[in-house]
Amino acid sequence: MPNYKSVLGADNLYYALVTQDDVSAYAAGTPAYLAPLANITIKSKTGMKTQYFDNVAMEVLTSEGESEAEIEIQGLPLATKAILLGKTFDSATGRMFDDGGGTPPYVALGYRALKSDGTYKHYWYLKCLFTPPDEEAASKADAPDPKNAKLKLTAIFTTYEWDVDGAGTMRGVKSVQGDTAVTEFDESTWFDAVQVPSAGAPAALTCTPSPVDGASSVAVSANITLTFSNALAANAEDGIILTTAAGVVKACARTINAARTLVTLDPTTNMAATTTYLVIVPGVTDVYGQTLADTVYDFATA
């Protein structure tokens, strides 16, 4: 049944740096909390032209451009402000330097809106650019007059194109939206990663290890990589470890790429020669909520 409830509130304002957007791929970093949200207004620029033929209106042409947002928040930490505006923040002195230079990075912006029946509308704008915020201050008087921070951004369509309708229609995307009033919508991992289009059911979560399972004569200095078919949920990689067959944990630096599809285990020292090692992948979950069964891969060093 359609849900027509009014919006009563907004919260969970998150941002993530866009690390890639070109014809080959779109990727964004792990979302970070931006600030407590007071108000957000997003207006899309559209164009419409009516064409007349034979003295009658025969066709209406429409187009959609960028969206402009005004966001009112409780306050903006200097370190976050520097990130959003491409400025320099000196953590040693706690100062941000606005020298007129710097290039603001593209970011993704996510939030949710509370409706009157307790359901939520969820949003991710995939490619946005912030401009310097308005700042106000006033003398303290007998009645409190708090001044909130006000941000402005522009959201545009991505360069990367998705098959949004599953019919081969490739398009750049400006936003992805969901509504908990829709039975099929799952909000549980919405803010774990920037949500991107997925026509129909998402692909099954799979993992491809390197070295391959059962490999032999692996160099003792080799790194271990795990390539996942879908982006992993936040912190899903934390339990992945490397051990000997006897269960002794091998110390490794564990990293994940910006797209959250490639986990690398880099042993802090060389592995032992002629030794069997196990890569333990304990039930990782992707951004769609799919969980990979507990998996163990093995290989032997040279």
Domain range for 76 is: 7-179
- Same-domain pairing of 134 and 249: no
Report the Cα 215 to chain-centroid distance in Å.
Answer: 34
22 and 148 share one domain = yes
Q: What is the pLDDT of residues 56-102, one digit of tens each?
A: 999 999 888 899 999 999 999 999 999 999 999 999 999 999 888 78
Please state, for a pLDDT cut of 70, what percent of the chain lies above it: 98
Select from 130, 163, 179 the last residue of a domain.
179
Question: Are both 122 and 212 inside the same structural domain?
Answer: no
Q: Which residue has the higher pLDDT, 288 or 157?
A: 157
The answer to whether residue 288 scores a pLDDT higher than 80 is no
- 41 and 167 both lie in a single domain: yes
Q: CA-to-CA distance for 246 and 278, rounded, in angstroms?
A: 9
| 59 and 165 part of one domain | yes
Residue 273 or residue 259, greater confidence: 273
Window from 1-10, 36-45, 210-219, 220-229 with minimum mean pLDDT: 1-10
Do 153 and 248 fall into the same domain? Answer: no
195 domain residue, yes or no: no
Residues 155 and 98 in one domain: yes
Which residue type sits at 233? A
The confidence score (pLDDT) of residue 263 equals 97
- pLDDT > 80? residue 214: yes
- Whether residue 196 is contained in a domain is answered as no
Answer yes or no: is 149 within a domain.
Answer: yes
Residues 68 and 132 in one domain: yes
- Taking only the tens place, the pLDDT of each residue in 143-163 is 888 888 999 999 999 999 888
**CATH of residue 292:** 2.60.40.1220
Mean pLDDT along residues 131-143: 83
Average pLDDT of the residues in 218-231: 95
Do 126 and 223 fall into the same domain? no
Report yes or no on 259 lying in a domain.
yes
Domain final residue pick, 179, 198, 217? 179
**Among 161, 179, 197, which residue terminates a domain?**
179
Between residues 164 and 119, which one has the greater pLDDT?
119
240 and 288 inside one domain: yes
- Residue 85 burial class via C-beta count within 10 angstroms: exposed 0-12, middle 13-18, buried 19 and up: buried
Domains in the chain, number:
2
> Above 90 in pLDDT, residue 4?
no
- The answer as to whether 199 is a domain residue is no
Q: Are residues 35 and 175 in the same domain?
A: yes
pLDDT of residue 201: 61
Please say whether the beta carbons of 149 and 71 come within 8 A: no
Judge if pTM exceeds 0.85.
Answer: no
In a domain, 188, yes or no: no
Q: How far is residue 44's CA from residue 48's CA, in Å, rounded to a whole number?
A: 13
Write down the mean pLDDT value for the chain: 91
Q: Is residue 190 part of a domain?
A: no
Domain identity same for 267 and 162: no
Question: Per the domain annotation, does 140 fall within a domain?
Answer: yes
Cα 105 to its chain centre, rounded Å, is 14
Contact 287, 195 (CB under 8 A): yes
- How many angstroms separate the CA atoms of 90 and 290, rounded? 40
